Amino acid sequence: MDILYKSTRGGESGINSPLAIVKGIADDGGLFVPDHIPSIDVDFDKLKGYSYNELACYIIGKYFPEIENLKSCIDSAYDDKFDSDSRVDLVESCGVSFLELYHGPTAAFKDMALSLLPYLMTSSIKQLSLDKEVVILTATSGDTGKAALAGFAGVSGTKIIVFFPNDGVSSVQKMQMVTQGESNTFVYAIEGNFDDAQTGVKKIFADKELGSYLSEHGYMLSSANSINIGRLVPQIVYYVHSYLELLRNGRLAEGDKINFVVPTGNFGNILAAYYAMQMGIPVNRLICASNENNVLTDFLTSGTYDRNRSLIKTNSPSMDILVSSNLERMLYHMSGGDESKVKTFMDKLGSEGAYSITPEMKSNFDFVYGGYASEEETLDTISSVYSDCSYLMDTHTAIAYKVYSDYKASTSDSTYTVIASTASPFKFTMSVANAIGETGGETDEFKLMYSLSEKTGIKIPRGLDGIEKLKIVHDTTCKKEEMKDVVKKSLGL
């Protein structure tokens, strides 16, 4: 049975996948969810023989059956721009397997979806016979911005506008974005944090008057954030792939359960793991790892989501988030598809900054464990894992490992565990080098990349090597109140 999409808030239903991908967000402000989650209906023994691209065709095809040239899209996305022949690597160290998702062109896990999204988008536009130019509007806490820019740069029929918090990303992340040179790319630093950027983008999407104005001038808005179902679905593939890889190498036998640990801010990456679980991967626990902005940990513990707190700037900036947008999809699923409940929660979040789920819904979250790590614990974890196991990881992955260690100590759960490793350590060189005592007094993060590589013997990813020599193209800062005007100005309106 083919899948159709509906809004988490009940305002739209019966939407096919090309339209859901192009729209990005529902007219009522809700997120598109499938009307059912498909099952894996091919034997694992057969799936073990699939390449990553073949597995992606199978899994994604179940969610986007209308995309006519899906194989071509996937083969174009997952090609030799990835440093790994298998696109992702599963590396066993320190008693777990690290699912390295950062071997793409921007050295972060976002590449796994954002290399593909432009192809899905342009294919959908063609199939829908749209006569509008699509404007990709994106807020980023660091990694999505560059991955989206790299994906959509130079893509005919699209423009992309990215907003990032001026003081809320690493030096490497910022340099990756502001050096993107194609004429259809626009990048702005905002005076505020990621939540300000994300809220501003959502307000623009919800502005009916602006939408009509843009439509009159030949434009329509869409998103490259994980609020877009076209961004979320490709992430399911690597969780299925990791389980199959463990079957292939004999680490697990078919039917053995697995834990997935995911460092997450916006809840999209761990939601993809949930979808893999619902499709038939035998998951024991999903472990949600947060930094000191531990709004998700508090929610999973208490059942109350409360963003009424100050955002803390940390050494894991991609998780410096207080409004986790994709949790809305999980609320939909955990409420049994009750759109009215979801709308009530989201309305309260908007008006009061907090909501509490029912006890029944909270019990439905019991398979998700939440924990967090401080900045000091993050650095200590990088140091100890490198010292004990010779494995170097970035700050976000370190949080996941620390939270998993706490989980295992408190539960004695011996289920085999995969940790999503979401970024190269060279994206956060200063923190990583400090953690292992290799700064040598160097304060230039770009120079430090090369010395860290030399001292550890780990190669700098292609997309980061030489980045400091690139020309800065985008150097505009705006206030969060000016974002709508900036969008119009970028389009020459």
Residue 168 is predicted with a pLDDT of 84
Tokens of 341: 């409940």
Residue 263 is predicted with a pLDDT of 97
Residue 257 is predicted with a pLDDT of 98
Q: How far is CA 57 from the centre of its chain?
A: 20
Q: How far is CA 411 from the centre of its chain?
A: 28
Q: What is the pLDDT of residues 342-382, one digit of tens each?
A: 999 999 999 999 999 999 999 999 999 999 999 999 999 99
Q: Which amino acid is at 128?
A: L
25 and 225 in contact (C-beta within 8 Å)?
A: no
Residue 137 is predicted with a pLDDT of 93
How open is the CA angle 140-146-151, to the nearest 5 degrees?
115
Strands (E), 236-342: 258-263, 283-290, 304-306
Q: What is the pLDDT of residues 131-152, one digit of tens each?
A: 899 999 999 887 788 999 999 9
Q: Which amino acid is at 177?
A: M
pTM of the complete model: 0.94
Measure the CA–CA gap between 101 and 60, rounded to whole angstroms.
Answer: 18
Q: By C-alpha distance, which of 418, 447, 448, 423 is closest to 433?
A: 448
Catalytic one among 6, 23, 62, 110? 110
Measure the CA–CA gap between 299 and 267, rounded to whole angstroms.
Answer: 12
Residue 25 is predicted with a pLDDT of 92
Q: Active-site residue 110, yes or no?
A: yes
Instruction: Give Cβ neighbours of residue 75 (< 8 Å, ≥ 6 apart).
Output: 53
Q: What is the pLDDT of residues 159-173, one digit of tens each?
A: 999 999 998 888 899
Residue-by-residue DSSP string for 3-14: --EEETTSS---
Report, as ranges of residue numbers, the positions in the chain whose pLDDT lies below 50. none
Measure the CA–CA gap between 184 and 139, rounded to whole angstroms.
Answer: 17
Measure the CA–CA gap between 138 and 349, rounded to whole angstroms.
Answer: 21
Tokens of 390: 């010779």
Residue 407 is predicted with a pLDDT of 98
How open is the CA angle 126-140-263, to the nearest 5 degrees?
110
Residue 443 is predicted with a pLDDT of 85
Instruction: Give Cβ neighbours of residue 359 (< 8 Å, ≥ 6 apart).
Output: 303
